[in-house]
Structure 1
Amino acid sequence: MTRHEYLDKILAKVTDVPTLPASVLHVMQMIEDPLCSAADLARVIQNDPGMATKVLKLANSPFYGFRQKITSIPQAVTLLGFATLKNALLSAAVFDMFRISGTGFDMPALWKHSVATATAAKLFAKRVRYPNSEKAFTAGLLHDVGKVMIARYLPSSLLTIVQTVHDKNVSIYDAEQHTIGLAHPSFGAWVISRWGLPTQLVEAVEYHHHPTRAKYAFDLAGIVYLANILTHRANIGNGGDLMIREVDPKVLEYFSMNESTLYDLRDALHAKRLEIEAFASIAASV
C-alpha cells in the first residue's frame, strides 16, 4: 500500500473536509485572472461585508507597515497588490481552521509559528531571488495545516503524539510517524490538493521536511524547509516540540548559503516578531 493509499484509508470516513470559503476561492480565482482589474476585485470584496472587514483590519496591521490608515477597499487593493491581498484573505480563512479546542495542542501558538514560517519563507525567497515571494509566503502559511487535520480527525492519536513528544523528547514529526504511520506533511498535502491549489504548493507542503524528495517544486519546498527551521530557532510560536533542527547541508549548498546566512536571516525574522504576533492576533479576531 502506497503512502497516499494509506492516507485515503485513514481519512475514508471523513465527510466534512475543511474547505476554503467560496467567497475567498472566488477572489483567489479572480486574482489569478490576468484580465481582472483592481476595480473589479475591489467591487467584489466590497459586496461581501465580512470579507471587506477582514481586508481592512489586516491591511492596517503593523505587519504591512503602511504609515497612513487604509480606509477603503480600493485603497487596500492598490496598496497591498493582488498577491499580498490573496495571502491576507487566505490567512484569515486558514486561521478559522485553527479554532479547535480540547486537543492538548496549543493551536494559537501553532498559528503564530505558521505566520512566522510564512514570513521567513518570504525573506528566504527574496534572498535567493525566487521569482514569487508571495507564493513562498503561502507555502509557509500552509506548511503545518496537516497538524490541524490530525487534531480535527484523529484527536486520540494527537493525544498520544503530544505525550510521546513530551516523554521521549522526539520531534512531533517522528511522534506522528510512530503513532499513525504518517506525519503531518502528508495530511496537509492531502487537504490542500482538494482545495485545488497548485501542485507546487502541494509539494512544498508535502516535502517541507524532506525537500530533496520533491519532483517539481524543490526550490519552494527547500525554502519552506529552511523557513521552518529558522522559525524554530527564532522561537516564534510553537510547532509542537522544542527540538533543535539541523540543516541538510545539501539544501544550504543548493541555495549558496551557510550557517552565517541563517543567523542573519534569523535576526531579520526576530526583528519582525512583534508584527508577526500582531498579524496572528488580528487574523484570529476577524
Structure 2
Amino acid sequence: MGCVAVDDLRQGMVLSEDVRDIHSRLLLSRGQTINEKHLRILKIWGVCTVNVVGASKEAIDAPDWNDPGRLADARQTVDALFKFVNADHKALRIVYEASVAQRCKDGAARPAAGGFAVGEGIETDIDVAAIRRRIADRRLKLPDAPTIISELNGVIADPFATSNDVARVVHKSPTLAALLLRIVNSAYYGFPSRIDRITRAVTIIGTKEISNLALGICVMRAFKDIPADIIDMHAFIRHSLACGLIARMIAAQINLAETEQVSVAGLLHDIGKLVLYKYYPAAMAVARGHATATDGSVYQSEKALLGMNHTQLAQQLLQHWQIPAVLTNTITCHHKPSTARDVTKAAIVQMADLIANGLGFGTSGERAIPVFDETAWGKLNVPAPNVNLVIRQALHQMRALDIAIV
C-alpha cells in the first residue's frame, strides 16, 4: 500500500486505511472502492492524500530533479531562509524538503522578501535615535481601534453572546460579512453545503470562532492602505492567512481546544510590522538595509536599530486596542514560545510561520527565519509524519483560500 495524492486518485482504487478530516471525523472506511462521489467528498473536506491498496510510497510532490538549474535555485532560496535555524531537526527537515519541492514545482525560486529596499523611493536619512526614544517612552504613533473592533471585543468577552449578536456587529461592515462568508465556504472549513448567512455560520462554527476570525480580519484591514512601494499587502496578507490556516491545522493534530484562537494568533502574528510599515516606513527601510548588509534577519535588525522588534510593538498596539490578553500574549511570543503564558499555542504559531515562509505563501518582508524554539516545539509531541500531513493540507487548502483581504 502507499500514499496517493487526491488529485491522482482514480475510480476503482481501494482504500487501505480509513480516511479522516483534520478533526479526526471518519469520512471513508478502509476497503472502500473509490468512485466519483468519493472524490468529491475528499476534495470538499480538504483531504490531500489517502492510502490505497497497491500504491507505492511517495514523497511530497518530488522536485523536478531533471532540471538541475531549477533545483539549485530552489535550494539556494530555501537555504537562505533556513540559515539561522537547525534544518537537521526532524520536523524542520520535512519542512525544508517540502519547501524545496514546492519552489521547484512553481518553476522559479521566489525571493524571501518583498516590498521596498533601501534606495527605492523611501527616504532613509532619518533620526533613528529619536524613534528609539519614542519607543522607549511608549510615545509611538498608534492608530485608534475601529469601532467594530471594540464591539467584537465585547461579543468575545460576553459568555452569553448569541449568533444574532455576532451578526449584528459583523453586518455593520458589508465587506467584512462578505469576506467571512467566503472564508467559511472555502476548504479552510470544508463544509459540504454552502453557508449563506452569518447567523448560520455562527451556529455551525461557534460564536467565539466567528467573532475571533472577524476580529483578526478587522485588525488586518485597519492597515489596508499601506502603499505598494512600502510593502506588498497582497503578499503580506496571503502570508498571514497561510499562517492562520496552518496554525489551525497543527492545533487539530494535537486535539487542542479553541483552535480559533491559535488561528487568529497566526493571522495577526506580524501585526507589529504593519505599524512600522505604515507609520515608520523609513525606519523599516533602514532595518531591511541593515539586515541585507549584515546578512541577518529583519527581526534582528529591528532590535539592533530601534531597540524594539515588531513583536514588542505588537504588544503595545494590541493592548491599546484592548485585544484579549491571552491572544495578545500568543502573538507577541511567537518568536520565543518558551516565554509565553501558553507555550503550546505560541509554539504552534511559530511553526506555522516557519512553514508558510518555507513554502513561499506570500511574505511579511522577512528575508530569513530568525529563530526556532526546539524545546517549545518538542513539548507538543507532534509526530514528524503529521508535519508532512499538515504541509500537504496547506498546499491543498491555500489554493481554495488564496484570497486577499485588501
- TM (norm. structure 2) is 0.60
The one-character-per-residue Cα deviations of 1:233-253 (angstroms, maximum 9, x if unpaired) are 222111323425664331232
TM-aligned CA deviation for residue 40 of structure 1 = 3.9
The one-letter code matched in structure 2 to 1:212 is: S
**Partner residue of 1:107?**
233
Q: Residues 251 and 261 (structure 1 numbering): CA distance in 2 closer, same or farther, change over 3 Å?
A: farther
Where structure 1 has 5 or more consecutive residues not aligned to the other structure, the ranges are none
Moved more, 153-162 or 64-73: 64-73
In the TM superposition, 1:136-215 aligns within 5 A as 136-214=262-340
TM-aligned CA deviation for residue 100 of structure 1 = 0.4
Q: Residues 247 and 79 (structure 1 numbering): CA distance in 2 closer, same or farther, change over 3 Å?
A: same
The one-letter code matched in structure 1 to 2:349 is: V
Q: Is 1:233 aligned to 2:363, yes or no?
A: no
**Distance in 1 between the 2:330 and 2:317 partners?**
13
- Which has the larger helix fraction? 1
Residue 147 (structure 2) aligned to one of 8, 11, 22: 22
**Partner residue of 1:126?**
252
**Partner residue of 1:77?**
202
**Distance in 1 between the 2:377 and 2:156 partners?**
33
Q: Is 1:38 aligned to 2:170, yes or no?
A: no
User: Which one has the largest radius of gyration?
Assistant: 2
1:45 and 1:52 in contact (8 A); partners too: yes
Where structure 2 has 5 or more consecutive residues not aligned to the other structure, the ranges are 1-131
Residue 388 (structure 2) aligned to one of 263, 282, 286: 263
Residue 136 (structure 2) aligned to one of 3, 6, 9: 9
**Partner residue of 2:80?**
none
The one-letter code matched in structure 2 to 1:135 is: Q
Aligned residue-pair number: 274
Q: Residues 79 and 24 (structure 1 numbering): CA distance in 2 closer, same or farther, change over 3 Å?
A: farther
1:174 and 1:183 in contact (8 A); partners too: yes
**Distance in 1 between the 2:330 and 2:133 partners?**
20
**Partner residue of 2:214?**
89
The one-character-per-residue Cα deviations of 1:246-267 (angstroms, maximum 9, x if unpaired) are 6433123211136554333222
The one-character-per-residue Cα deviations of 1:110-139 (angstroms, maximum 9, x if unpaired) are 211111111111112122232211110111
The one-letter code matched in structure 2 to 1:115 is: L
TM-aligned CA deviation for residue 184 of structure 1 = 0.8
**Distance in 2 between the 1:53 and 1:276 partners?**
14
The one-letter code matched in structure 1 to 2:290 is: T
Q: Residues 127 and 105 (structure 1 numbering): CA distance in 2 closer, same or farther, change over 3 Å?
A: same
TM-aligned CA deviation for residue 83 of structure 1 = 2.7
TM-aligned CA deviation for residue 10 of structure 1 = 5.7
**Distance in 1 between the 2:134 and 2:267 partners?**
22
The one-letter code matched in structure 1 to 2:357 is: H
**Identical-residue share of aligned pairs (%):** 24
TM-aligned CA deviation for residue 29 of structure 1 = 2.0
